[in-house]
Amino acid sequence: MFLPPPNIVLIFYISLILSGCDEVYSLGKSAESQAVMKKEGLNKSSLYLRWVKSVASHVRSHRSGAVTPIIWDDMLRQWDVKSLKVMYM
């Protein structure tokens, strides 16, 4: 087995990172998420969007914007165009 010398750091450049965010079909069904939705006046889409944006912000903050976070689109397919545009604000 080859191991690099300890003073060499291996760096891999990535430009995209997949954060998943798919198949959350039970979103809004737990008591905790229902309480948040009620307290903050959110629906399932806005609750999901808030989470996705927080994950994307976290990724960008650790990579100084050098990495673009991407997600699967299955949860977005049911949204109308107006709701999707909110995602980019």
Active site residues: 23
Classify residue 49 as exposed, middle or buried by CB count within 10 Å of its CB (0-12, 13-18, 19+).
Answer: buried
Taking residue 51's Cβ as centre, other Cβ atoms within 10 Å add up to 15
Q: What are phi and psi of 17, to 5 degrees?
A: -135, 125
Classify residue 73 as exposed, middle or buried by CB count within 10 Å of its CB (0-12, 13-18, 19+).
Answer: exposed
